[in-house]
Structure 1
Amino acid sequence: MRLLVVCGKQETVLGKQRASGACPYCGGIVQAVDVESRYSFCFVPLWFNPGRKYFCTRCTRRLVVCQG
């Protein structure tokens, strides 16, 4: 018996813009990227998750924003 589970995640970039502040590692410009993640099971979309990620344009690190 074989069990084949076909699931996946796709990310689509919706837009990019400059964020305030500087990278704490290299001092480069921080860019905010709006993305939409799609999770699917057997090619049937199950869940859409819009979100925002932050990247440095100089060292290309992904930055985490702490809100508190």
Structure 2
Amino acid sequence: MRLLYVCDEQEKEFSRHDAPGACPQCGGKVEAVDYAHKWRFCFVPVCNIAKRKYTCTKCSKRLVFLYS
């Protein structure tokens, strides 16, 4: 007997736009990217999450904002 584990993960980009501020490393412009992240198990949707990533347009570094 064999156990077949089928899991799928997809990421889809919705929009890109300029964000306020500058990159702390190189001083380039910051860009915000909205995307959706989907997980499926045996073709059944398990999770659907919408998130936002911030990246520098000059050095392509991913920026993480810490809240105080």
Identity value in percent: 50
Distance in 2, Cα, partners of 1:61 & 1:3: 40
When normalised by structure 2's length, the TM-score is 0.90
SS at 1:65's partner residue? coil
Distance in 2, Cα, partners of 1:45 & 1:38: 7
RMSD of Structure 2 on Structure 1 (CA)? 1.1
The offset of 1:2, in angstroms, is 2.9
SS at 1:45's partner residue? strand
Residue 41 of structure 1 corresponds to 41
The offset of 1:42, in angstroms, is 1.4
Distance in 2, Cα, partners of 1:26 & 1:32: 17
- 1:27-38 map, 5 Å: 27-38=27-38
Unmatched 5+ residue regions in structure 2?
Answer: none
| Paired residue type of 1:9 | E
When normalised by structure 1's length, the TM-score is 0.90
| Per-residue Cα deviation, 1:3-44 (whole angstroms, up to 9, x for no partner) | 221112111111111001111111111000001100111122
Distance in 2, Cα, partners of 1:4 & 1:22: 47
Residue 10 of structure 2 corresponds to 10
Distance in 2, Cα, partners of 1:8 & 1:24: 36
